[in-house]
Homo-oligomer: A and B are copies of this chain.
Amino acid sequence: MTRPHHPIDSTDTLYLGAPDVARIVARKGLAACIAGVAERIHADFLRWNEFDKTPRVANHSADGVIELMPVSDASWYSFKYVNGHPKNTQRGVSTVMAFGVLADVATGAPRLLAELTLPTAIRTAAMSALAARTLARQNSRVMALVGNGAQAEFQAIAFRDLVGIRTLRAYDVDTGATEKLVRNLQGRGLDVIVCASTAEAVLGADIVTTITADKQRATIITPEMVEPGMHFNGVGGDCPGKTELHAGVLRASSVFVEYEPQTRIEGDLQQMPADFEVTELWRVLAGQAAGRTSEAQVTVFDSVGFAIEDYSALHFLHDAARELGIGDFIRLVPQMTDPKDLFATIAASSDIQRAPARSSIATISA
């Protein structure tokens, strides 16, 4: 499946399917991928104003949502396709599936098409840890992890490596999910304590990560669970009608977001009035705004996932694929001898039939 890579003047597209991406992550190591993507997100967030940004476009249905997340700078355009269907797991399908494209802004040619389900878990964990490194107390060692589904291990490893978390207090309404988490994290330098409720998991935690999937107004975290100095990493409240934190938690906290116009629609922030104050995280990273200002302050990162994070992840994959020689070039769009002669691409096809099929014309003319 693998061919040598080379500079391309053509409109061919490098394709990384799910097996290719899993191989890249296995070869580089998950921890290295999380760290590498975090580094790229950090660098890209520092040049925030160079990006042409827009809230993602969502098509909602009874059981889920399908979203497109475009973003561009002067050189590269990227978009991600991603769904969210909490009931999928009942039929053996993932709640979240994603793929994305990197394209050349100068010509519009798609340069990379890649599966992004696994990279979405990686970039979300990288983003969460990057925010917590800036917002949580310096000596944070214990994290509550509420929601132990597909993305839980990624969060655990990101917080272990980038924040210094050593103890996880895990809870999920599905005990099977927690068992899976415990199994997957064995021998990875984390103490995992299985808890019987969210309240128990949160007890004494420095950081609380909520990453649940229900598409409904949920209240996973209530005000009485909040302790001074806690940092909340709210990942699962990421869709209109889908929340995890009680409004009282937000009111008692300093709230940080990725891209304010999108988080106002999708985040836990959707519960709050339009003038409720928030800070975009890039400003903290760039030294333009304060992050945590006291040990007792409660901070919330109201994460919904923003297109720049996928842009960063796609670039990471692009470089890794070329470094490791993984992937195939595909002809996703035509390669034309004369760019004004699209018509000729039909005749150039192997088995042309020049006469129009009269029967079909009759059908439409009728």
Interface, chain A (partner B; CB < 8 A): 11, 15, 17-19, 22-23, 25-32, 35-36, 38-39, 42, 52, 54, 57, 59-61, 63-66, 68, 70-72, 74, 77, 79, 81, 83-85, 88-89, 91-95, 97-99, 101, 103, 105-110, 113, 115, 117-118, 121, 149-151, 153-154, 157, 161-162, 174, 176-177, 180, 184, 330-336, 338-357, 359-361, 363-365
Contact = CB atoms under 8 A, between A and B. Distances in A.
Contact of A349 (B22, B42, B339): B22
Contact of A91 (B32, B71, B107, B343): B107
Contact of A107 (B36, B83, B344): B83
A340 B148 CA distance: 8
Contacts of A103: 66, 81, 83
Contact of A118 (B30, B95, B345): B345
Given A31-B361, A108-B64, A338-B180, A332 B83 contact: no
Given A68-B79, A339-B92, A351-B23, A28 B357 contact: yes
Nearest to A160: B356
Contact of A26 (B30, B57, B353): B353
B349 A19 contact: yes
B59 A57 contact: no
Contacts of A36: 360, 363-364
B68 A331 contact: no
A60 B108 CA distance: 11
B11 A97 contact: yes
A97 B93 contact: no
Contacts of A339: 88-89, 92-95, 150
A304 to B, nearest CB: 17
Name A's interface SS: mixed
Nearest to A77: B66
How many copies of this chain does one complex carry? 2
A94 B61 contact: no
Rank and list the top 6 A-B pairs by shortest CB-CB distance, nearest first: A83-B108, A31-B356, A32-B357, A32-B360, A26-B349, A22-B349
Given A66-B108, A94-B339, A29 B357 contact: yes
B72 A59 contact: yes
A320 to B, nearest CB: 11
B118 A346 contact: yes
A149 to B, nearest CB: 5
Given A23-B350, A26-B352, A107-B83, A99 B161 contact: no
A55 B43 CA distance: 32
A177 B95 CA distance: 49
Nearest to A360: B32
A84 B103 CA distance: 13
A265 to B, nearest CB: 14
B91 A349 contact: no
A335 B38 contact: no
